Structure 1
Amino acid sequence: MENIRGSAWMVLAMLGFAVEDMFVKLAADGVPVGQILMLFGLGGMVGFLLLTWRRGERALVPQAMNKTLAMRAVFEISGRLFFILSLALSTLSSTSAILQATPLAVTLGAAVFMGERVGWQRWIAILIGFIGVLLVIKPTPEAFQLTSILAVLGMLGFAGRDLATRAAPPALSNMQLGVYGFAVLVPTGGVYAAATSGFVWPDAFSWFAISGATVIGIGAYYALTVAMRTGEVSVVTPFRYSRLLFALGFGFAIFGETPDLMMLLGSSIIVLSGIYILVNGRRALVPSKPAAL
């Protein structure tokens, strides 16, 4: 029963993130990307501040002043900026498909930079997964779109953020990290907007889209936290790939996107490789026979 509850929370979280992405893409039709980043960061910072205070925690603590958190901020900024740019300039379907390669990049980064052991099976799975990414972005002169690189850069930024989060001081809660992650987006978005397209006053629908992305995004983060604390991680975690199914549905229903066979094949390869890595990694943590007393 706990596994069912945890899986349901994970699917709910992924639905929320897909809706958040949809709202961001809709807002990008009338609001500059930098301004979206700034407003989204401001709303998220306020939301996580309230959640932090509700838990009786302080937003600013001495442990937050270190190089790991500074590096995490850089990856957060690059991941969010390039991801929103990709949503604005490319399709929701392809951007979401490439994002699913984040666990592959995290596993690769953990092996290269953090010294974690990765067996040959998972190395093969990583390689196959990135072949799936190539199928999605179609790196041929006839089919390649430069905007696909934005999604890849966003995915790498999120992977770096996740690795830095793993190295962050244990004393910092998820809510506190959420405050810091969103806070750095406010000045970044403002500077990017000022240096590029400037600022506009959003119309009613744009305000609705940005507000919806912020509120639903915070709710999705909460659902993700509950999911990861309910049931077995090896059972619950693979359901995070349901985000791609929701994205494909929203892309078709809202934006009229029709993924071609190559993108569907690449997406399937990415998802299957990621699930294999997750399941294989969890099995590696379970001893094959009871340990001696």
Structure 2
Amino acid sequence: MLNAAMKKLAHELDPWLVGFLRYLLGATVILAPALRRGVRELWPKAPKLQLVRGLFHTGGMMLWFAALPLVTLAELTAIAFSVPLFICLGAVPFLNERMSGARWAAVLVGFAGVLLVVDPLAGGGLAGISTGILLMLASAPVFAGSFLIAKVLTRHERSDVMVLWQHLLVSLLLAPFALLSWMPPSAGQWALLVVCGFLGAGGHYCMTCAFRVADISAVQSVRFLELVWAALLGFFMFGTIPAGWTLAGGVVILASTLWLARSESRTV
């Protein structure tokens, strides 16, 4: 739902402005309940690591926003699923996580499903891949770096503090680009931006909590399920009919996710 709303707004407003307001509003969503603990409790225990994560996440968002108007919703979501592959690759050397055979299989099968959706050979080979898809692919390792740092931060910070500072730093770094392209959103656009703020902040909070209690490599494979929702929302919101390869890829992705969930439940 968040990607669908962001894509709709990116066609109506400048993508930098949309990103800035989404993260600024998301910060207020987290700030309100977090203030109950007191202002002192909101200061991070690892500020330098928070800053590095903010830089990584902003870099990924800038590439993502540049691609947003150029790709379909199904492509947008599918290509974003290359992020888990980079995360799983990085989790072994940087976090000392053990990748079981089931996890590797689930990630690789899920990524094969993503390739079915993108279908790079349909456009005449790799040269036929669009600029939007290339920008999305470039954002994947940058986002992976942000999430790997987030996993490290869970050892030092509370989840609400992590999400608050992520949103504050990203909105601060995007502010110059947003101000250069400022145009006042309409009432309907403001309403959708508020929804994006809630969904984004809530999603990041839940994901951060998941990083705290589980290996990051195990958490990421479940994200492949988002593609099914992206295809449905793309049809209802933008009139985009999923191609046969998209549906086939969705089935493969769903199978890999269910397989991983079954495998992980046996090890608990």
| Conservation of the 8 A alpha-carbon contact between 1:99 and 1:155 | yes
CA contact (8 A) 2:81 2:114 kept: no
Decide whether the 8 Å contact of 2:160 with 2:205 is kept in 1. Answer: no
SS of 2:77 mapped into structure 1: helix
Question: Match for 1:64: what amino acid?
Answer: A
| CA distance in structure 2 between the partners assigned to 1:194 and 1:96 by the alignment | 28
The one of 98, 116, 141 aligned to 2:79: 98
Work out the CA distance in 2 between the residues paired with 1:192 and 1:256: 31
Q: 1:55 to 1:224 in 2, by over 3 A?
A: farther
- Structure 1 residue 193 displacement after superposition: 3.8
| Residue 31 of structure 1 pairs with residue 13 of structure 2 | yes
Query: 1:147 Cα deviation (Å)?
Result: 0.9
Structure with bigger RCO (C-alpha 8 Å, 6+ apart): 1
Q: Secondary structure of 1:58's match? A: helix
**Structure 1 equivalent of residue 216 of structure 2:** none
Q: Deviations over 1:43-69 (max 9, x none)?
A: 1112111122134562213x1323x32
CA distance in 2, matches of 1:125, 1:239: 9
Where does residue 161 of structure 1 map in the other structure?
146
Kindly indicate whether residue 140 of structure 2 is the aligned counterpart of residue 152 of structure 1. no
Structure 1 residue 99 displacement after superposition: 2.8
Matched, 1:137 2:122: no
Find the counterpart in structure 2 of residue 260 from structure 1: 243
Partner residue in 1 for 2:194: 211
Select 1:110's aligned residue among 88, 91, 99: 91
Name the amino acid aligned to 1:111. V
Identity of aligned residues (%): 27
Three-state SS of the structure 2 residue aligned to 1:167 is helix
Partner residue of 2:161?
176
- Cα drift, residue 113 of structure 1: 3.0
Q: RMSD in angstroms over aligned alpha carbons?
A: 3.4
Deviations 1:129-150 (A, max 9, x none): 3333333322234363221223
- One-letter amino acid matched to 1:51: P
**1:196-233 deviations in Å (ceiling 9; x for gaps):** xx222222222222122113433455666789999xxx
Contact 2:225 2:254 in 1 (8 A): no
Alpha-carbon spacing, 1:221–1:164, altered in 2? closer, same or farther (3 Å): closer
**Alignment TM-score, normalising by the size of structure 2:** 0.79
The letter for the 1-side match of 2:136 is A
- Could you tell me whether the CA contact under 8 Å between 1:40 and 1:213 is conserved in 2? yes
Q: Which residue of 2 aligns with 1:185?
A: 170
Alignment counterpart, residue 50 of structure 2, candidates 69, 80, 88: 69
2:212 is the alignment partner of 1:249: no
Number of matched residues?
260
SS in 2 for 1:257: coil
Q: Deviations over 1:98-134 (max 9, x none)?
A: 3344433322221243332224454444443333333
Which amino acid counterpart does residue 32 of structure 1 have in structure 2? D
Would the alpha carbon gap of residues 118 and 220 (structure 1) be closer, same or farther in structure 2, given more than 3 Å must change?
A: closer
Partner of 2:29: 47
Aligned counterparts of 1:250 and 1:206: Cα–Cα separation in 2: 18
1:244 Cα deviation after fit: 2.7
- Does 1:82 find its partner at 2:63? yes
Question: 1:179, 1:119 → 2: CA distance?
Answer: 33
| Distance of 1:271 and 1:98 partners within structure 2 | 16
Residues 43-52 or 208-217, more deviating: 208-217
Q: Is the 8 A contact 2:151 2:212 kept in 1?
A: no
